[in-house]
Amino acid sequence: MSPTLTRCLTFFIFAAALFSFSSAELQLFREAPAFRNGRECPPRETSSVIHIAMTLDATYLRGSIAGVFSVLQHASCPENVVFHFVTTTHRRRQELRRIIISTFPYLNFHIYHFDSNLVRGKISYSIRRALDQPLNYARMYLADLVPATAQRIIYFDSDLIVVDDVAKLWSIDLKDHALGAPEYCHANFTNYFTHRFWSNPAYAASFKGRDACYFNTGVMVIDLWKWREGKYTEKLENWMRIQKRKFLWDMYILDLNSMLYKTLNDDLRWTAT
């Protein structure tokens, strides 16, 4: 059995023991073991902290808990990892905080409220209803939610399991780019975009000199300072307004903005979804 498969099986055995259910709407989870730094880890200072963002809600709570557990289990310096959870609910914010604390008593984390009204009037209906939820667009606003002292952040979808040290992803060189993500370059954009898009010379020119690639927004490394400098949130909001009025494509808005990112050259073998 391969080492990667062994690690995955080990994780799921631990995760199965970790989760338990309650008669209440939100699930309850058993307390996870304390994950501590080794002697080789640097002091927990600003320069050594790894920032990770995830969304947090009742529907995908189990996935978020599993994702956090997998990051800590494989991190070389777990106490240097800080989680930034984003939620849209005021009513359950304290309950979600209580669940995180009871499951991971030693976790360094913050919870931020995302105002759904920022995107509610801009969201276009898609093939997948999950993509229509306001919280799905919160990743576009991380630069506004996370403290300005954090220059870089990793975003993980709540259905993602990490099977290697997240520090390897954190240390990737983005060069002059605002975002790094795994790309997919076997797309047929003729099918993804509508006739209204291709018949408009200004829109069609967006792909002049570019490969037919888009990226997976479930794993992103974001330079928050460059994101703010480039005003990418505003640019994405503008594309959302255009899409709302004209329906130019059938894909999720962030997947299309290949001009933002630098490809992660490895194939992300350390993740499993």
pLDDT at 89 over 70: yes
- For residue 20, what pLDDT band results from cuts at 50, 70 and 90? very low
At residue 121, the pLDDT reads 86
- For residue 32, what pLDDT band results from cuts at 50, 70 and 90? very high
| Inter-residue contact 79 to 34 (CB < 8 Å) | no
**Angle value at C-alpha 263, between 269 and 188, nearest 5 degrees:** 95
| Inter-residue contact 98 to 84 (CB < 8 Å) | no
- For residue 92, what pLDDT band results from cuts at 50, 70 and 90? confident
At residue 85, the pLDDT reads 97
At residue 5, the pLDDT reads 44
Non-local (6+) Cβ contacts of 10 within 8 A are none
- As a whole number, mean pLDDT of residues 111-116 equals 95
Instruction: Provide the mean pLDDT of the chain.
Output: 81
At residue 194, the pLDDT reads 81
CA distances from 146 to 51, 63, 273 (A): 10, 22, 26
pLDDT at 67 over 80: yes
- This model's pTM is above 0.85: no
- CA–CA separation, 258 and 254 (whole Å): 8
The tens digit of pLDDT for each residue in 182-200 reads 877 777 777 777 888 889 8
Ordered DSSP codes for the chain: --HHHHHHHHHHHHHHHHEE--SSSS-EEPPPPPP---TTSPPS-GGG-EEEEEE--STTHHHHHHHHHHHHHH-SSGGGEEEEEEES-STTHHHHHHHHHHH-TT-EEEEEE--GGGTTTTPPP-SSGGGGSGGGGGGGGHHHHS-TT--EEEEE-TT-EE-S-THHHHT---TT-SEEE-EE----HHHHB-HHHHT-HHHHGGGTT--S-EE-TTEEEEEHHHHHHHTHHHHHHHHHHHHHHH--BSS-GGGG-GGGEEE-SS--TTEE-
pLDDT at 269 over 50: no
Count of positions (residues) in the chain: 273
% residues pLDDT > 90 (the chain) = 44
- For residue 264, what pLDDT band results from cuts at 50, 70 and 90? very low
- For residue 217, what pLDDT band results from cuts at 50, 70 and 90? confident
- As a whole number, mean pLDDT of residues 32-36 equals 95
At residue 46, the pLDDT reads 73
| Inter-residue contact 47 to 62 (CB < 8 Å) | no
At residue 54, the pLDDT reads 97
At residue 141, the pLDDT reads 96
Give me the domains of the chain, ranges plus CATH numbers. 46-272 (3.90.550.10)
- CA–CA separation, 183 and 168 (whole Å): 18
The tens digit of pLDDT for each residue in 138-185 reads 999 999 999 999 999 999 999 899 999 999 999 999 988 888 888 777
pLDDT at 14 over 90: no
* Strongest mean pLDDT among 14-23, 111-120, 202-211, 256-265: 111-120
